[in-house]
A and B are shown apart, each in its own frame.
Chain A
């Protein structure tokens, strides 16, 4: 059948055309590609072990496309999954002490079930890579594929083909195969298929192909790809009260683990919002002043990922064009002019209801890497849905609770989902066929042996306590004195007139609680003000002088502006430790004493006090935490936080923080920060530390190489410069809280979370890395996510066992929580600091505060 008539009749041509002078516009038009959902990834991970600032993480992928069939293979450059790039960074081979064995030894062995599945291949399995050339050259990928697939030589073979590179599991007879085909227009095209490589199963290219195969299989199981993950629309969880539906699904990956090729699957939920951008704007219109309507819209919408109603594609909103209306025309690809209203009516049978809405503008990523002018798509708000959650939505506690309730899965629930997926893959006829023809065998769920590290003692001032549960020891600590605290003699409380009584009651409790833990709190000066942020600020400006040790503000409401302006002033302009407390929390019946105790401890820290410690066997060790956080408003800006311990007991901390343009610049400030920390240590201890261990958090996929090439050398150069005659040793460990891996402990035919302190350092780890997993936090209702540690540089030469135990110890000393947390304390401190700067103060905090935990 000839496609010509259709092409003419439907006005499809390939080249984009200018809609307005100086701007190229391509409305989302019938795509020549198979539909794919490329996307913004915004899922609520179904974890519950939130320790740390517990927010649902909301993260947009920078790249919009991680397409399906559109995926291109390694050789073509560009879109290789970034987490796979990290796997190609082999750090272990340079670390002599772990080359043969990176396993620890202490602790009690524990049998664990994983969410890994074996993938077996025949011994001599190979993948054959071919290059496919067309003469004359064809631009359409779809056509290239169709022509090649129509050949008998290939149609019955299992294959992966992206239009240029072809992978087969069986070799073709000839090294070069000549084929010919005809385009629908009747042109004869010569196709030359040339063998370029024979790859063993362990090759990274094969891993890539296995991932493509599994993506195909999941699609055949009627799942939808959104971002990298796969979701089942047929079984949505509906939350009409919040206009949300949640699609259950899986994040999957195939890769080479310590000793074998494994398939990983973790349950994931996609949040879809049943609200169009137009409805969202209408709501803003109703709730804000008309004068700042456009501004508010832009602030709320820019950067969000929307899903179009008609073509299954996602776009990032880069701009809103208020001057364009649906009744305006644009130029179709065939050059004819049509209004947006008519276009959507004709093409999709959709009638637009609001003819005054503006259009959303999205920059399109060029499919090829040429320098053609960036194209933009104009989208109609009425036809776009928001995906994921807006900032506003994530701060809606009711909504987040509703989402968490649905997405939080117990280990058993998770295990059941996994079992069902495995079952579906094995039973589905198409899936089985696909696997068989590639020679893959989908095996059983993998079990392995981990170890539970011995529990730690908590050292208080005159008492050593062995907590009943390492998850939380506030009860065990009752009536124990904290290690050290400065007396609080000159301080201020600012509160609104209305909260005066509450404040007095609270102050009474606070002083009692303080003295119980050995923190002396004198009576403060109390200032009463009007209920508005400006009034609070002006009191601070007037009454805070250099003798004031601390300022406490009792906030009348949780409006962010109160918190932000207070923190901004007292962290940057006039550096004094500050403590904000919501008036509402002080009215909770029966909780006053425990609230007061927590706040007293926090205040003690902010004044430079030390709460508790764990035994650190290394005599002169500095630990450092680094985290990177996105700036709240400025796109492309990041906040880098650096926190270092400055005493051998690891109870006192030095911090630095800066705002930078991009993550690649992170290295630049690290040298300065490290040198600052070493100077501080020297002042305190009159010698340099013998060892430094750096925990680096906030590392994105694909950044490992940058870390090794730029950050480690910066840290090293600072260390070597400082210690010219002594030699300070350095280790750098990448910490990742988010990983696909899950471990379950089997118990009485059910499964549950593994005990605290469980370490996994075999099988589920990577052969090219010196890495391990550690579970240091509890998830009371959901499934715990293990934290992954990857030692990328290490001349300390500590035994793996010591490295693991030290890391575990460091998870005990985060002073904001009397219990274990998911990452080492220095990382959590760095996170807390960057979060404060990124969300509230937006500036570098004053150096005068660098020696206290002012950011708690």
Chain B
């Protein structure tokens, strides 16, 4: 899974597979193709980013595109993917289309990996009705038929194949094999060679839906996410600072004890943070040195340890001190504030 950045699902149906794939962090491009693709009745449905996706953006970009089209039509936008899945698709193809299918998927699209699943007809006697599982099926293969076809295709387009399946047979009928058989095709040659062949762009599929996800690659989401992480760290330090013992050092007030959160960090991380420059207050303001903030694991991960990046990004959204070495916030303990201080400024006098 980890190296699959671009994935296409041919015959995506109700998009459940695409929906499951969209959660994977490594995926950057998801494409669905279905002959019966319809625009969504209600916006993007479950393929759209969702509210949570805006609050915690993904690390990597993700675009999802749905096309109306057939698995036996060539469209250059699907070439060179990492993975193409065809779940319960081939049995719906008539013999003419089935003949074209390998040429399009393996020959033309030529992804790094192909996963094809189809019913195993040997399993059928276990069902009450002994016809095809779906009247639209043109054929249902036994294991031998599928494997022969798959091995031939693999040989022709230079993919190695492994077979597996889902749906274990009941006890006593182990000989029939899985309910659904799966062929996993791995391309033999390195992927890079595909790009050298230049073929004309062919756009046959019709786009029915497209969305892109907010991600940390986009400046505004990155800035907001980083600012929020910093504010969270600062708030926790401020609350410890206000509750702990302090002493005056020149014009600064500094904490006497530790000023790290008690929770959510390992002992080693806490120790490292304690070694860094301490937060301090001057007058009504509280300052946390960037050198301290950058040690916080989440902050560190976001800026990859780059202090300059931390400084410039924070300067856009938060207030820094004059020489831009610390974040500045007001030293107010919000928790003890209460509304009725405002009696005399609000239109209504109270109490």
A-side residues, CB < 8 A to B, are 1-6, 8-10, 30, 34-35, 37, 50-55, 68-69, 142, 146, 149-150, 182, 184-186, 216, 219-220, 222-224, 226, 233, 236, 238, 240-243, 245, 272, 274-275, 279, 282-283, 285-287, 307-312, 347-350, 353-354, 385, 392, 394-399, 430, 472, 557-560, 563, 579-582, 584-585, 588, 591, 595, 598-599, 602, 816-817, 819, 821, 856
Contact = CB atoms under 8 A, between A and B. Distances in A.
Given A392-B335, A582-B341, A4 B348 contact: no
Most buried by A among B89, B132, B179, B342: B342
B179 A8 contact: yes
Given A69-B41, A274-B55, A282-B261, A5 B338 contact: no
- The 8 A-B residue pairs with the shortest CB-CB distance, nearest first, are A219-B43, A240-B227, A312-B50, A5-B180, A558-B338, A309-B52, A186-B134, A35-B46
A285 B262 CA distance: 9
A54 B346 contact: yes
A843 to B, nearest CB: 18
7 contacts: A8-B166, A272-B51, A347-B20, A558-B341, A585-B343, A816-B348, A816-B349
B339 A55 contact: yes
Interface string B317-335: 1100000000001101011
B275 interface: no
Given A3-B13, A4-B133, A310 B52 contact: yes
Contacts of B54: 233, 236, 245, 272
B166 A5 contact: yes
Interface bin, chain B = 35 or more
A6 B88 CA distance: 9
B350 A53 contact: yes
Contacts of A242: 231
Contacts, number: 226
A240 B231 contact: yes
B52 A312 contact: yes
Contact of B88 (A1, A385, A472): A1
Nearest to A233: B54
A602 B332 CA distance: 31
Contacts of A598: 344, 349
Contact of A283 (B236, B332, B336): B236
A385 B55 contact: yes
A185 B20 CA distance: 21
B344 A185 contact: no
A349 B338 contact: no
Contacts of A585: 341, 343-344
A222 B334 CA distance: 36
Contacts of B263: 282, 285-286
| Interface core residue of B88, B92, B228 (most chain A CB under 10 Å) | B228
Nearest to B181: A5
A216 B42 contact: yes
The listed residue with most B CB atoms (<10 A of its CB), out of A224, A353, A595, is: A224
Given A8-B167, A184-B13, 12 more contacts: A1-B92, A5-B166, A8-B166, A50-B346, A216-B42, A219-B42, A233-B214, A272-B54, A307-B52, A312-B46, A595-B344, A599-B349
A185 B133 contact: yes
Contact of A559 (B38, B240, B338): B338
B125 interface: no
A5 B17 CA distance: 12
B334 A396 contact: yes
A236 B220 CA distance: 10
Contact of A34 (B36, B42, B335, B340): B42
B228 A558 contact: no
A51 to B, nearest CB: 5
Interface in B210-262: 214, 224, 227-228, 231-232, 235-236, 239-240, 243, 261-262
A430 B348 contact: no
A50 B345 CA distance: 12
A34 B133 contact: no
B348 A53 contact: yes
A5 B88 contact: yes
B121 interface: no
Contacts of B334: 392, 396, 398-399
B31 interface: no
A582 B343 CA distance: 9
A1 B318 contact: no
B20 A240 contact: no
Contacts of A184: 13, 134
A233 B166 contact: no
Given A10-B20, A185-B133, A396-B337, A51 B52 contact: no
Contacts of B349: 598-599, 602, 816-817
Interface in B87-140: 87-89, 92, 117, 119, 132-136
Nearest to B54: A233
B194 interface: no
Contacts of B304: none
